[in-house]
Amino acid sequence: MPALSIPIRRRRRAIIPLRMAADHGRRIAVVLLVTLLAALPPATLLPGSPGSVRVAGMPLLSWYAFLIAPVVAAGTVVLSRLGR
């Protein structure tokens, strides 16, 4: 009985497919956005009452909720889109 041999040819492939590389940036963006959302409620419990600290007449947590978090979120989305 003849010996059967199946030729195995190695193909050159990228270690990380491009599809997965694009998902990596998106995954980082999602983690950052969830962290931004989750940081606000515990910040009210911090000692020193950061909610009562005022910057330009508005409480610091309002600055975070209305300006800082949305700007960081928008920047994260733009950067994750550019990474495609």
Q: What is the pLDDT of residues 30-55, one digit of tens each?
A: 888 888 888 877 877 878 777 778 88
Joined together, the tokens standing for residue 19 give 């599809």
Band of the pLDDT at 2, cuts 50, 70, 90? low
Q: What is the mean pLDDT of residues 72-84?
A: 78
Q: What is the mean pLDDT of the chain?
A: 75
Helix (H) or strand (E) holding 74: helix 69-82
Looking at residue 4, the DSSP 8-state letter turns out to be P
Predicted local distance difference test score (pLDDT) of residue 54 = 84
Cα distances (angstroms) measured from residue 32 to each of 18, 36, 76: 22, 6, 8
Q: In Å, what is the CA distance from 11 to each residue of 4, 6, 8?
A: 22, 15, 9
Structural domain boundaries in the chain? 54-84
